[in-house]
Chain A
Amino acid sequence: MIEIDRVSQVFRTSGRQDHLALSEISLTIEDGAFVSILGPSGCGKSTLLYIVGGFVNPTQGVAKMKGKAIAGPGPDRGPVFQEFALFPWKSVLGNVMYGPRQQGMKHAEAEAQSRRLIEMVGLKGFEHFYPKELSGGMKQRVALARTLAYHPAVLLMDEPFGALDAHTRTRLQNDLLNIWERDRKTVLFVTHSVDEAVFLSDKVVVMTRSPGRIKAIVDINLPRPRRRAELLLDPRYQKYVVDIERMIDDTSEDGLRP
Chain B
Amino acid sequence: MMLVRTLGARLAPLLACLGLLGIWQAAALVLNTDSFPPAMEAIRAIPSILGDKESLINILASLRRMAVGFSLAVAVSIPLGLMMGRSRAVASFFNPLLMVTYPVPKAALMPIIMLWLGVGEIAKILVIFLGVSLPVIYHSFQGAKAVEEKMLWSGAAMGLSAAQRMIRIVLPAALPEILTGCRTGLVLALITMVTSEMIARQSGAGNILFNALDMGQYDTVYAMIIIIGAMGIGLDAMFEKLRSRLVRWSEPGFEIPLSFA
Contacts and interface: CB of A to CB of B under 8 A. Distances in A.
A99 B158 CA distance: 5
Given A79-B153, A85-B151, A87-B172, A132 B158 contact: no
Given A54-B156, A88-B173, A88-B249, 6 more contacts: A55-B153, A73-B153, A79-B154, A87-B173, A102-B158, A152-B157
B92 interface: no
Interface string B138-168: 0000000000101101101111100000000
B126 interface: no
Interface of B: 148, 150-151, 153-154, 156-160, 169, 172-173, 175, 247, 249-250
Interface string A99-111: 1001100000000
Contacts of B249: 88-90, 130-132
A85 to B, nearest CB: 4
Secondary structure at chain A's binding surface: helix, strand, loop or mixed? loop
Contacts, number: 62
Interface bin, chain A:
20 to 34
B154 A85 contact: yes
Interface in A63-114: 72-75, 77-79, 81, 83, 85-90, 98-99, 102-103
What 3 A-B pairs have minimum CB-CB distances, sorted nearest first? Answer: A85-B150, A73-B156, A99-B158
Contact of B157 (A75, A86, A90): A75
Nearest to B148: A85
18 contacts: A54-B156, A55-B153, A55-B156, A72-B156, A73-B156, A73-B157, A74-B157, A74-B159, A75-B157, A75-B159, A77-B157, A79-B150, A85-B148, A85-B150, A86-B151, A88-B250, A146-B154, A152-B157
